[in-house]
Amino acid sequence: MEKPALQRKIIHIDMDAFFASVEQHDRPELRGLPLAIGRDVPRGVVSTASYEARPFGVRSAMSIMQAKKRCPGLLIVPPRFGRYKEVSGQIHAIFHEYTDLVEPLSIDEAFLDVTENKKGMGLAIDIARAIKREIYEKTGLTASAGVSYNKFLAKIASDYRKPDGLFLVHPDRALDFVGRLPVEKFWGVGPKTAQTMHGMGIVTGEQLREVSLSHLLQRFGKQGKIYFDFARGIDNRPVVVDHERKSVGCERTFMEDISSKSTVIIELYHTVLELVERLERSGFEGRTLTLKLKWDAMTQITRSITHTKALRTKDEILPLAKRLLSQTEYGSRPVRLMGLSVSSPVHDSDGQKPWQEWVEGYLQFH
């Protein structure tokens, strides 16, 4: 494998079951018990599951109802996003003691480029070990760290020995490491893409490496070039310090299409609640609300509205969401998927007028 002139030193830090771990730290009586962070309501969703709950199959994004069925003794703990942000701030302050090249991915994970670091330390794995130790000393929480020469490999490495893990993918061993990986572990390979690859006889990174670039481009479009590079341990994306979130959203695909107006309204209400929770969690503030409905596998429609101030609460968002829904054909067409998102960060200036509305119309998928 051809090496770049300057080998970067990249660390990916991922907090272990972050929300659940904060609760167990703050409330010792919860330690060692299976718990899920979420709202114990009929349509509640698991934000984070503790490691004690995971052997039962409880995981993030699962419905609370399903999680309780899988783990009858599961404790449901309401989220405290303000507390999680406070702890996240402590953790990110630790990152900046070592480097200012920090790219947050979420409240509980980040990439760090420590090629040139403030401590003058030579080995990235020593820096990762020091960061993990300092996080534990200052917060009482454990983190898992992956170390390599690019973001793709560092990200995979951080998942390799969770929880409280530390794993290095050395440049000299990267090809062997990638070759043994199941394609499901590759960044950007979801269940559908993995299924397509399996149908092509591609199960591991080594098998993916044997496929020509032209064939991957033909089957996966531009994403094919990314898979081609990843299979060779190549990822030239830099750690982006000024990376800024542009939107926060959520969507749900229904097990069966819903048709009645009352059912759609109920689902809209619960989608709004989930969106508000995600906004609280991320700290994002935006002015544009977008509703997405998918009627069938081929057609979806979006409606959007922009306000002069940030949209944060259920009382602010729900009336707008209902207003957007009223502009659609709901009730006369079955709905397969519903989504809501908030975009247009409050500090952006896009020239839109207060309460400006726009319609994208139908988007055809081919």
CATH assignment of the domain containing 271: 3.30.1490.100
- Of 134 and 244, the structure prediction assigns the larger pLDDT to 134
- Cα–Cα distance for residue pair 128/151, rounded to 1 Å: 14
Q: For residue 55, is it within any domain? A: yes
Burial 159-180 (b: 16+ CB within 10 A, else e): eeebeebbbbbeeeebbebbbe
Q: Is 360 a catalytic residue?
A: no
64 lies in the same domain as 204: no
At residue 331, the pLDDT reads 87
If you average pLDDT over residues 24-35, what whole number do you get? 97
Strand order in the sheet with 109-113: 102-106, 109-113, 10-15, 143-148, 166-168
At residue 151, the pLDDT reads 96
* Sole residue written with tokens 């995971």: 54
If you average pLDDT over residues 338-345, what whole number do you get? 89
**205 burial class (0-12, 13-18, 19+ CB within 10 angstroms)?**
buried
User: What does the mean pLDDT of the chain come to?
Assistant: 88
What percent of the chain shows pLDDT beyond 90? Answer: 68
**Structural domain tally of the chain?**
3
59 lies in the same domain as 107: yes
Q: For residue 242, is it within any domain? A: no
Q: Whole domain around residue 219: which residue ranges? A: 174-230
Q: Are 129 and 121 in contact (CB under 8 A)?
A: no
33 lies in the same domain as 146: yes
Q: What's the Cα-to-Cα distance from 329 to each of 99, 118, 191, 249, 362, rounded to whole Å?
A: 52, 58, 31, 22, 12
Q: For residue 240, is it within any domain? A: no
Q: For residue 118, is it within any domain? A: yes
162 lies in the same domain as 178: no
What is the model's pTM? 0.71
Q: How confident is the model at residue 6 (pLDDT cuts 50, 70, 90)?
A: low
Q: What are phi and psi of 273, to 5 degrees?
A: -60, -40
Nearest to 206 by CA among 183, 172, 235: 183
**55 burial class (0-12, 13-18, 19+ CB within 10 angstroms)?**
exposed
Q: For residue 7, is it within any domain? A: yes
119 lies in the same domain as 10: yes
255 lies in the same domain as 349: yes
291 lies in the same domain as 351: yes
140 lies in the same domain as 32: yes
Q: pLDDT for 187-201, tens place per residue?
A: 888 888 899 999 999
Q: For residue 237, is it within any domain? A: no
Q: For residue 309, is it within any domain? A: yes
Q: Which of 169, 193, 209 is the last residue of a domain?
A: 169
284 lies in the same domain as 147: no
109, 134, 277, 280: which one is catalytic?
109
283 lies in the same domain as 335: yes
Q: For residue 235, is it within any domain? A: no
Nearest to 135 by CA among 92, 168, 104: 92
269 lies in the same domain as 128: no
5 lies in the same domain as 38: yes
